Amino acid sequence: MRAGFLPKLLISPSAFLVLVCVYGYIMFTFYLSFTTSTMMPGYELAGTANYERLLGLENWRQSVANLGTFALLYIAIAGLLGLALAILIDQKIRAESVFRSIFLYPMALSLIVTGTAWKWLLDPGVGLEHTLRSLGWESFAFGWVKSSEMAIYCVVIAAVWQTTGFVMAMFLAGLRGVDTDQVNAARVDGAKTWQIYLRIIIPQLGPVFVSAFVILAHMAIKSYDLVVALTNGGPGRSTWLPSVFMYQYTFTRNEMAVGAASSVLMLLAIGLIVLPYLLSEMRKARHG
């Protein structure tokens, strides 16, 4: 139905707030990235100097590389594990709600709590390594969190633990909405369970994969609290992510303009990745 005056009026506060507090601020950040801001916003222009400095910084290179590793592993593992858990739980399990709650509850915890708990578990001196060794498994070694190369994988572990349950819930919902006629037809034809899953069910979950990706990508970007609680960016600077970089350079190192430049690049990357999703949503809305 064509919108009269009322709907347009009622949606305009949200539209206005999003326009100002999201896009207005993004524009502000964009502007800042061309200034000489150090501790607080300054308005003197500095051309592209900040971007040049940014791209030459080892900390930035490390952050971007880590994001690639982290995001890839996190999204893939959480997605597949979530799907696997959903399929397992969907097998007419007794105490389904118990299992479901167990896998889902980590989402309730703040990233700070998650980071702290995993920091303890992964610490070789007091955590898993120490425990398993004292139980007799002398050669067990799990000092990843103290190693410059491996620490980022610990961040992956903690992040996967946190969000897999939510992905599982999404896939569970998706599984229960799958068209059962096709499934029964295949069953009548003699197809085995795993074949049914692979050929019929999973392809129908396409939209859920997309939504899961959106949720996971969103968590990957907002992972600042988790990194700080788990490793504080260490050892050294080896678990920096762009969100950590931006925070450090803007607030701790008094290089706000460089931080703004890193924000702009982050937003650009985010935009590129979610653009297909946004376009498809728009197209669906137009034809839906």
Partner 1 sequence: MKKHLIGAIVSAAFALPAVAQQSVEVLHWWTSGGEAAALNVLKGNLEKQGVKWNDMPVAGGGGEAAMTAVRARVTSGNPPTAVQMLGFDIIDWAKQGVLADLNALAAKEGWDKVVPTALQKFSKFNGKWIAAPVNIHSTNWVWANKEVLAKAGVTSEPKSFDEFIAAAEKVQKAGFIAIAHGGQPWQEATVFDGVVLATGGVDYYKKAFIDLDPKALASPTTEKVFQRMGQIRKLVDKDFSGRDWNVASGMVISGKAGFQIMGDWAKGEFLNAKKVPGKDFACFRFPGTQGMVAFNSDQFAMFKVGADKAAAQVKLASAIMEPGFQSAFNVVKGSVPARTDVPDTAFDDCGKKGMKDLAEANSKGTLVGSIAHGHAVPASLKSAFYDVITRHFNGQIDDKKAVAEMVAVAKN
Partner 2 sequence: MADASAAVDDKSMTFRGRRPAVSFGVGRLALYALLVVLAFVFLMPVYVMVVNSLKPLDEIRSGNLMALPQDWTVAPWLTAWSTAQIGVQPTGLRPYFINSFLMVVPAVAISTLTGALNGYILTQFRFRGAHLLFAAMLFSVFLPFQIVLIPMAKTLGLLGLAGTVKGLVFVHVVYGIGFSTLFFRNYYAAFPAELIRSARMDGAGFFGVLGRILLPNSAPIIVVSVIWQFTNIWNDFLFGASFSDFSSYPLTVALNNLVNSSTGVKEYNVHFAGAFIAALPTLAVYLLSGKYFVRGLMAGSVKG
Q: Cis omega (within 30 of 0) on the bond before 235?
A: yes
**Among 237, 267, 273, 281, contact with partner 1 (rule: CB under 8 A):** 237
Of 252, 210, 211, which Cα lies nearest the Cα of 228? Answer: 252
CB proximity list for 55: less than 8 A, separation 6 or greater = none
* 122-126 contacts, C-beta under 8 A, 24 or more apart: 122/154, 122/157, 122/230
Q: Tell me whether residue 60 or residue 74 sits nearer to partner 1 (CB atom).
A: 60
Task: Kindly state whether residue 142 participates in binding partner 1, applying the rule CB under 8 A.
Answer: no
**Among 120, 137, 185, 254, contact with partner 2 (rule: CB under 8 A):** 120
Tell me the C-alpha distance between 171 and 82, whole Å.
7
Task: State the binding partner of 235 from partner 2, partner 1, none, CB within 5 to 8 A by kind.
Answer: partner 1
Q: How far is the CB of 119 from partner 2 (least distance, A)?
A: 10
- Nearest-Å Rg of the Cα atoms of the chain is 23
Q: Looking only at residues 152 through 191 of this chain, which bind partner 2 when binding is defined by CB under 8 A?
A: 161, 165, 169-170, 172-178, 180, 183-184
Task: Kindly state whether residue 139 participates in binding partner 2, applying the rule CB under 8 A.
Answer: no
Burial classification of residue 137, based on how many CB atoms lie within 10 Å of its CB (0-12 exposed, 13-18 middle, 19 or more buried): exposed
* Secondary structure class of 189 (helix, strand, coil): coil
Give bridge partners of residue 35 from the DSSP assignment.
45
Task: Kindly state whether residue 138 participates in binding partner 1, applying the rule CB under 8 A.
Answer: no
Residue type, 75: I
Task: State the binding partner of 148 from partner 2, partner 1, none, CB within 5 to 8 A by kind.
Answer: partner 1
**Among 100, 151, 154, 265, contact with partner 2 (rule: CB under 8 A):** 100
Contact 152, 244 (CB under 8 A): no
Residues 46-65, one symbol each (x = binds partner 2 by CB under 8 A, - = not), give --------------------
Task: Kindly state whether residue 231 participates in binding partner 2, applying the rule CB under 8 A.
Answer: no
Give contact residues for partner 1 (rule: CB under 8 A).
38-40, 58-59, 119, 123-125, 143, 145-148, 231-232, 234-238, 247-248, 251-255
